[in-house]
């Protein structure tokens, strides 16, 4: 199958290459799930049971994909931005291994005036690229560009099996209405995601955790190329909403919706082929709307601001 990750990703996988494949599979899942769980429990220590049981992590583990590793980096960045900008930026910089998941980060940092995070992210990304060049050679960097053809081939035509595995408005609209409407849907989804990210710091009056929850919810909407196994990072906005409910009260509909969103990364993928549509993009926009609705006003009529 196509290996489309940039060369710095080799640093993550080379140690597993010395193992027999079945052992490497188990080890990869165990290590990356452990990193994701560690980052998520650090962010929400009182909700550790919900972290360990999160279905969005289970589907990533079942695929043995890199969604747990990339989500660990996103959750770490979200948790640390209000405390240690350098750590947050370095985590985003490490997403050079899958850069379309970090496309909102520069806008998130800039709108929050987190200049130290921007510097750390740039230095980490450039450093990893240079180190991969030194470790694996010029030819490896050059050959990476040939993998773009493989990515293009995957996206050519309209393959229902492929499109239903994707979790974006682009993929689902393209499957049903074709290229033109799909590009329009992707553009609108990206605009909504970017707008929410840029305005989140103002919306939540500088609350770093709230702005982080909005950015990560928006991350599921900004890219046209995303799969359900990429989504363990949604644990952060989901549990942030749980925390808000505990602190300020749940709105009448909120508990039921949060239960549905908690299961959504797994459930929407399981239902995609029977239904003929992957509903995860709808769940993502609902999640972002819920996060957004907790800002700018008293969330539960308690007289307290979040």
Q: What is the pLDDT of residues 82-122, one digit of tens each?
A: 999 999 999 999 999 999 999 999 999 999 999 999 999 99
Residue range 215-230: mean pLDDT, rounded = 96
pTM of the model as a whole? 0.93
Cβ atoms 228, 269 nearer than 8 A: yes
Please report the pLDDT score of residue 1 as a whole number.
62
Please report the pLDDT score of residue 305 as a whole number.
41
Beta strand spans in the chain (E) = none
Please report the pLDDT score of residue 306 as a whole number.
41
Please report the pLDDT score of residue 92 as a whole number.
97
Is the confidence at residue 162, as pLDDT, over 70?
yes
Q: Is 260 exposed, middle or buried (0-12, 13-18, 19+ CB in 10 A)?
A: middle
Please report the pLDDT score of residue 119 as a whole number.
97
Please report the pLDDT score of residue 302 as a whole number.
37
Is the confidence at residue 79, as pLDDT, over 70?
yes
Cβ atoms 188, 99 nearer than 8 A: no
Is the confidence at residue 294, as pLDDT, over 50?
yes
Is the confidence at residue 184, as pLDDT, over 80?
yes
C-alpha dist (Å) from residue 110 to 197, 198, 267: 10, 8, 35
Residue range 204-218: mean pLDDT, rounded = 96
Please report the pLDDT score of residue 257 as a whole number.
97
Please report the pLDDT score of residue 151 as a whole number.
76
Q: Tens of pLDDT along 231-276?
A: 999 999 999 999 999 999 999 999 999 999 999 999 999 999 999 9
C-alpha R_g of the chain: 19
**Per residue, what are the HEC states of 250-269?**
CCCCHHHHHHHHHHHHHHHH
In this predicted model, which residue has the larger pLDDT, 66 or 150? 66
Q: Tens of pLDDT along 10-54?
A: 999 999 999 999 999 999 999 999 999 999 999 999 999 999 999
In this predicted model, which residue has the larger pLDDT, 61 or 154? 61
Is the confidence at residue 299, as pLDDT, over 50?
no
Is the confidence at residue 287, as pLDDT, over 70?
yes
Cβ atoms 288, 218 nearer than 8 A: yes
Bridge partners of residue 166, in order along the sequence = 227
Mean pLDDT estimate for the chain? 92
Give residue 304's pLDDT band: very low, low, confident or very high (50, 70, 90).
Answer: very low
C-alpha dist (Å) from residue 256 to 77, 253, 259, 260, 270: 29, 6, 5, 6, 20
């Amino acid at each position: 199958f196509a290996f489309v990750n940039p060369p710095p990703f080799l640093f993550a996988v080379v140690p597993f290459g010395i193992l027999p494949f079945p052992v490497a599979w188990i080890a990869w899942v165990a290590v990356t799930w452990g990193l994701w769980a560690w980052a998520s429990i650090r962010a929400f220590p009182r909700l550790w049971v919900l972290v360990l049981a999160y279905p969005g992590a289970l589907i990533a583990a079942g695929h043995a994909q890199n969604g747990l590793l990339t989500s660990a980096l996103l959750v770490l960045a979200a948790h640390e931005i209000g405390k240690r900008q350098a750590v947050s930026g370095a985590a985003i910089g490490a997403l050079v291994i899958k850069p379309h998941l970090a496309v909102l980060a520069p806008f998130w940092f800039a709108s929050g005036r987190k200049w130290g995070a921007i510097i750390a992210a740039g230095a980490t990304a450039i450093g990893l690229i240079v180190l991969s060049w030194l470790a694996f050679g010029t030819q490896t960097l050059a050959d990476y560009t040939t993998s773009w053809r493989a990515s293009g081939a995957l996206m050519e035509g309209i393959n229902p099996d492929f499109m239903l595995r994707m979790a974006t408005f682009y993929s689902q609209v393209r499957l049903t209405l074709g290229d033109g409407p799909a590009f329009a849907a992707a553009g609108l989804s990206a605009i909504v995601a970017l707008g929410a990210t840029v305005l989140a710091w103002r919306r939540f009056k500088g609350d770093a955790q709230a702005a982080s929850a909005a950015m990560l919810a928006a991350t599921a909407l900004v890219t046209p190329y995303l799969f359900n196994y990429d989504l363990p990072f949604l644990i952060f906005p989901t549990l942030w909403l749980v925390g808000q409910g505990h602190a300020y009260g749940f709105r009448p509909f909120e508990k039921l919706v949060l239960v549905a969103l908690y299961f959504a990364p797994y459930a929407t993928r399981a239902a995609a082929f029977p239904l003929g549509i992957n509903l995860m993009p709808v769940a993502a926009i609902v999640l972002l709307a819920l996060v957004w609705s907790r800002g700018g006003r008293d969330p539960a009529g308690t007289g307290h601001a979040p």
